[in-house]
Amino acid sequence: MTVFTAALVAVLYGTGVYMILQRTLTRVILGLALLSHGANLLLLIVGGRAGLAPLIGSFTGDDTVSDPVPPALVLTAIVISFGMTVFLLALAYRSWQLTRDDTVEDDPEDRRIARLGRSRPRAGARPAHVVDGPSADPEREAPR
Amino acid sequence: MRVLLPFPVVVPILFAALTVVFHRSRAAQRGIAIAGVSAALGAAIAILVLVERDGPQSVTLGGWPAVVGIALVADLFSALLLVVSLITVLAVLVFAVGQRHSDDLVAFHPTYLALTAAVSLSFLTGDLFNLFVSFEVMLAASYVLITLGGRRAQIRHGMTYVIINMIASALFLTAIAFIYAAMGTVNLADLSEKMGGVPEHLVTALSLLFLVVFGTKAAVFPVFSWLPDSYPTARAPVVAVFAGLLTKVGVYAMVRTQTLLFPHDGPWTVLLVLAGLTMIVGVLGAIAQNDMKRILSFHIVSQIGYMVLGLGLFTVSGVAGAVFFIVHQIPVKTSLFLVSGLVEESAGSTALDRVGGLLRRTPLTAALFGLAALSLAGIPPFSGFVGKLSLVEAGFGAQEYAIVAVSLVGSLLTLFSMAKIWNGVFWGVAERPTRAVSDGAARLRAPILMTGSTIVLVGVTVAIAVFAGPIYDLCHRAADSLLHPAAYVDAVLGR
């Protein structure tokens, strides 16, 4: 059973990382959710074998009792990752409201440098940063 | 007196709740927030005095025996950082209150106080999982602060920030799971004792995993690019407090775990190489920018390299240099960002080609920038010089000449990029001046509270230079107890 859960943890980490590498924001968020599920499950199985509930009076000295600490930690971790995922979804929604687009945008600074490289051959071309510095208004540079 | 330990955490949380209750009145919110941070600062100073006199102090919550109960521990290192951080937090809060375009939203003060509490908790906690929780509280507050207002650029860059930090948090949780699997505890002092019984390859793997986790939070090369991307979009007080605290909390956690759990006998080459690359790549990135806030953001990365260098040497003088450097860096970095906030408030922009010739119009701002910038670059007699001198000496002591040379080159380039800001903002003329700059009206004057809090914070950096001797002495003792943690472990385990 532990082998099965360990394999499940591996699958969750793998798919999580794969999804995070996507360019669509919703997939990145789903990937993060999978990754944190993987971490939570891992934290749960490090407690060792399952056993009786660790309630005083419900077991004798011979019984195997499950370790109560990992479930307590996992409970906290689940709440945290749930909250963070909800916050990210809200951010993604706000981003969609503003841009009507779900992809992760290019860095405006990267784009400026790329444009600088392209405009160099043309004689008399003004340096790009004079026209639109990144700090002046990065919002202008984003795709409409 | 150990009962004081939870105060810097509990007081800001309670006051955060109060600011929510009084959300209708901005004035009440401001008063409550300032009172809360001041009370936490008072408690922190008392803790520092106590720890300085009696050695490390520990208290377990709920009166449970250590290891079962969550421990809060203060040693010299955490108490020092706690005091410096809370002074900085207070100065930035006053700065935020003084802003003329008071666009502070209802959520600002509660979130800011939650951030304060979480930073205090990260410094004071003696429990690995509790450290994870405090990081999460701190990051959740920072996610809200960095995207507060919901402008397009903030959302775009804030998204990067949130995602990177969530990945690092998932890795942190993974590391905690492995630690628990290997040793069956998450109490730092207990772990420190049990680490000896773990196979060496496992110790190395865990140590590297923690290095990646805290390296991401602290913006160490090669996982730093989220920082200069996301910080400049936030509003001035927010970015100032982030610059001063968040990455330093990452460095604190790195120093704490590496010295307590994974002690090294001599210099650790991996860390030294990372430190060198962080310094140089960060400062080269800064030179390429043409906006004051972006230059300063890259400098955060570069300066982290110096702290990692001190840790990587793993000698008492090296770690002492790192501790002093963190203590100096928190107010210096914050005051530089506050100055950029002053420039933005008065001139309307921080782009080097849109602002110019501010030296004549706002000489006070120029002087404040000059003091902080010289301190950052490490020019004698400022505090940065003392920090860098102690690191260089420690480097020579450990016979790591290459990293010393790299750090000196880095500091020369730092001076160069500070001169670039000076030339762009305070000298010369703007290519595309903003309205405020071309009008040159009295509007260029910043509100008194903003200027006042910046003056106080720059005053703190000067004071660190003036009292460099006693402060370095404290840092040396802090480093000594970091590398010989017997007193820390005994205090936690109640022996």
Mean pLDDT value of segment B77-92: 94
In chain B, the residue whose alpha carbon lies closest to the alpha carbon of A31 is B167
Question: Residues 65-94, chain B: which have Cβ within 8 Å of A?
Answer: none
* Whole-number Å distance between alpha carbons of B125 and B189: 11
φ/ψ of B484, rounded to 5, equals -125, 80
B291 contact residues in A (CB cutoff 8 A): 133-135
Q: Using pLDDT thresholds of 50, 70 and 90, give the confidence band for residue B103.
A: low
ipTM: 0.85
* Whole-number Å distance between alpha carbons of B156 and A96: 10
Distances in Å between the Cα of B288 and the Cα atoms of A121, B63, B188, B395 are 21, 54, 42, 29
Looking at residue A109, what is its pLDDT? 67
Looking at residue B174, what is its pLDDT? 94
Looking at residue A140, what is its pLDDT? 43
Q: Is the pLDDT at A135 greater than 50, yes or no?
A: no
Looking at residue A38, what is its pLDDT? 94
Question: Residues 49-78, chain A: which have Cβ within 8 Å of B?
Answer: 67, 69-70, 73, 76-77
CB nearest B140 (choices: A47, A84, A104): A84
* pLDDT tens, residue by residue, B434-443: 766 666 654 5
Between A50 and B306, the higher pLDDT residue: B306
* Whole-number Å distance between alpha carbons of B182 and B193: 13
Q: Is the pLDDT at A125 greater than 50, yes or no?
A: no
Q: Is the pLDDT at A144 greater than 50, yes or no?
A: no
Mean pLDDT value of segment A83-102: 87
Coil, strand or helix: which one is B186? coil
**Lowest mean per-residue pLDDT among B329-338, B361-370, B467-476:** B361-370
In chain A, the residue whose alpha carbon lies closest to the alpha carbon of B291 is A135
Between A14 and B149, the higher pLDDT residue: A14
Between A50 and A24, the higher pLDDT residue: A24
Looking at residue A142, what is its pLDDT? 43
Looking at residue A129, what is its pLDDT? 45
Measure the CA dihedral B168/B172/B175/B177, to 10°: -130
Contact between chains at A94 and B180 (C-beta distance less than 8 A): no
CB nearest B354 (choices: A42, A105, A136): A136
Mean pLDDT value of segment A84-95: 90
Looking at residue B450, what is its pLDDT? 86
Q: Is the pLDDT at B466 greater than 80, yes or no?
A: yes
A136 touches chain B (CB under 8 A): yes
* pLDDT tens, residue by residue, B111-157: 999 999 999 999 999 899 999 999 999 999 999 988 887 788 888 88
Q: Is the pLDDT at B290 greater than 90, yes or no?
A: no
Looking at residue A64, what is its pLDDT? 79
A9 contact residues in B (CB cutoff 8 A): none
* Whole-number Å distance between alpha carbons of B98 and B94: 6
**Lowest mean per-residue pLDDT among A62-66, A80-84, A127-131, B364-368:** A127-131
A20 contact residues in B (CB cutoff 8 A): 163, 167
Tell me the Cα Rg of chain B: 22
Mean pLDDT value of segment B180-191: 89
CB nearest A42 (choices: B163, B174, B232): B174
% of chain B residues with pLDDT over 70: 97
Q: In angstroms, what separates the C-alpha of A64 from chain B's closest C-alpha? A: 16
Type of residue found at A106? D
Looking at residue B102, what is its pLDDT? 55
Mean pLDDT value of segment A57-64: 75
Q: Fill in the DSSP letter of residue B125.
A: B
Looking at residue A103, what is its pLDDT? 76
Query: Is B200 buried (19+), middle (13-18) or exposed (0-12) by CB count in 10 A?
Result: exposed
% of chain B residues with pLDDT over 90: 48
B287 touches chain A (CB under 8 A): no
Distance of CA B141 to the CA centre of its chain: 15
Looking at residue B436, what is its pLDDT? 67
Q: In angstroms, what separates the C-alpha of A101 from chain B's closest C-alpha? A: 11
Looking at residue B332, what is its pLDDT? 93
Looking at residue B236, what is its pLDDT? 85
Q: In angstroms, what separates the C-alpha of A36 from chain B's closest C-alpha? A: 6
φ/ψ of A132, rounded to 5, equals -145, 90
Looking at residue A130, what is its pLDDT? 42
Looking at residue B122, what is its pLDDT? 95
Mean pLDDT value of segment A22-50: 89
* Whole-number Å distance between alpha carbons of B150 and A139: 12
B181 touches chain A (CB under 8 A): yes
Mean pLDDT value of segment B57-72: 84
CB nearest B351 (choices: A99, A105, A133): A133
Q: What is the pTM of this model?
A: 0.90
Rounded to the nearest integer, the mean pLDDT of chain B is: 88
Tokens encoding B254:
């790195």
Return the ∠ at Cα B126 (arms to B125 and B131), rounded to 5°. 55
Query: Is B471 buried (19+), middle (13-18) or exposed (0-12) by CB count in 10 A?
Result: buried
Q: Is the pLDDT at A118 greater than 80, yes or no?
A: no
**Lowest mean per-residue pLDDT among A74-78, A115-119, B71-75, B253-257:** A115-119
